[in-house]
């Protein structure tokens, strides 16, 4: 999901929460209350860290109309935003910046103010990070904190990726400290007449029992799934010459608070629409947590094994795709 879509989703979740209570609980003419909505995720591998901060709003117009006006939900330059490394003197000051390519939707576009700071190679695993937001006009303080997710490696022997002729392929790793939800992605890199392309095979989220790390995690899939996925997503083009690139094994991880936030705000099949509130923002609502993936610190990039490559070229599912 693009950054602008993620920000829109957070704002929409907060919007729905505030306005979905019973009509008897909602008074559009009530005294104005400043409700700060925060969305920020730290990742030690990001060169720049971003935090989205908005305000919920009330007014005498239709809320969907008000959402199209910047001053309804933006603080502009009225916030002082910083993240401190707890136990040290290191402080990261987040300055305002403007994104110019926000897609149109419920909230104003194409320009939106967000907060950013260069954190390249400065966030240290094992340390706690405290977010502080101060409203320069009112003095209001909003706070939260998070731990970074520790690095981990996928358990894999050898330099080639081979699929079994029968049974299931098993990929394993050990859970990371402070990590909770894990999503495995097998990226199949290939070339169309020399032009690089890729296909992501994204697997369901799995969760560790705790956040202490060291738990053996795994995904399983068959060779039939692998080849059928390629068949379904790469078109047959007469005359095209395709070559296989590296197979990348990636695991994206959400910290405990972020995992809980996603669970509570996931689409529901229930007719009961009232959801429990979850936030780890003091004096506001939203989420400040951490995420991580293994592809930067501990990349797992493999050549396709010769037998699996032969199956790709001559097998019943993919023989028409032009792989050499």
What are the φ/ψ torsions at residue 313 (nearest 5 degrees)? -75, -35
- pLDDT at 76 (0 to 100): 82
**Three-state SS for 27?**
coil
Instruction: Tell me the C-alpha distance between 150 and 175, whole Å.
Output: 9
- pLDDT at 299 (0 to 100): 92
Residue 2: C-alpha distances to residues 101, 102, 179, 203, 230 (Å): 11, 9, 22, 19, 24
**Is the CB of residue 118 less than 8 Å from the CB of residue 12?**
no
Residue 299: C-alpha distances to residues 94, 144, 177, 202 (Å): 30, 31, 18, 17
Task: Per-residue pLDDT tens, the chain, 324 aa: give them.
Answer: 344 444 444 444 444 443 333 333 444 445 557 889 899 999 999 999 999 998 876 555 555 555 566 666 788 889 999 999 999 999 999 999 876 665 555 555 567 788 999 999 999 999 999 999 999 999 999 999 999 999 999 999 888 999 998 899 999 999 999 999 999 999 999 999 999 999 999 999 999 999 999 999 999 999 999 999 999 999 999 999 999 999 999 999 999 999 999 998 877 666 655 667 789 999 998 999 999 999 988 899 999 999 999 999 999 999 999 999
β-strands 112-118, 128-135: how paired? unpaired
Instruction: Tell me the C-alpha distance between 317 and 2, whole Å.
Output: 32
Instruction: Tell me the C-alpha distance between 125 and 119, whole Å.
Output: 13
Structure-token pair, residue 154: 């996928």
Nearest to 179 by CA among 132, 215, 204: 215
**Three-state SS for 244?**
strand
DSSP result, 144-202: EEEEPPPP--EE--SSEE---SSSEEEEEEEPPTTEEEEEEEEEEEEEETTEEEEEEEE
């Amino acid at each position: 999901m693009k950054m602008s879509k993620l920000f829109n989703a957070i704002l929409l979740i907060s919007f729905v929460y505030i306005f979905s209570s019973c009509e008897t609980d909602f008074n559009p003419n009530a005294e104005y209350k400043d409700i700060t909505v925060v969305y920020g995720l730290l990742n030690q591998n990001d060169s720049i860290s971003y935090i989205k901060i908005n305000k919920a709003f009330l007014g005498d117009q239709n809320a969907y109309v008000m959402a199209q006006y910047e001053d309804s939900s933006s603080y502009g330059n009225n916030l002082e935003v910083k993240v401190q490394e707890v136990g040290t003197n290191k402080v990261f000051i987040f300055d305002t910046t403007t994104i110019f390519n926000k897609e149109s939707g419920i909230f104003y576009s194409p320009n939106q103010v967000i907060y950013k700071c260069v954190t390249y190679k400065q966030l240290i695993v094992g340390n706690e990070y405290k977010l502080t937001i101060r409203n320069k006009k009112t003095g209001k303080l909003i706070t939260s904190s998070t731990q970074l997710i520790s690095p981990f490696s996928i358990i894999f022997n050898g330099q080639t990726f081979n699929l079994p002729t029968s049974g299931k392929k098993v990929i394993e790793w050990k859970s990371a400290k402070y990590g909770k939800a894990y999503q495995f992605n097998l990226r199949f890199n290939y070339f169309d007449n020399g032009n690089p392309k890729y296909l992501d095979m994204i697997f369901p989220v799995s969760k560790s029992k705790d956040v202490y790390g060291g738990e053996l995690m795994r995904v399983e899939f068959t060779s039939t799934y692998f080849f059928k996925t390629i068949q379904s997503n790469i078109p047959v083009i007469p005359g095209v010459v395709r070559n296989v690139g590296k197979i990348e094994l990636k695991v994206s991880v959400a910290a405990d608070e972020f995992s809980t936030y996603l669970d509570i705000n996931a689409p529901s099949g229930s007719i009961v629409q009232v959801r429990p509130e979850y936030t780890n923002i003091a004096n506001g609502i939203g989420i400040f947590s951490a995420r991580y993936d293994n592809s930067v610190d501990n990349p797992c990039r493999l050549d396709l094994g010769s037998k699996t490559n032969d199956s790709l070229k001559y097998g019943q599912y993919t023989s028409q795709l032009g792989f050499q």
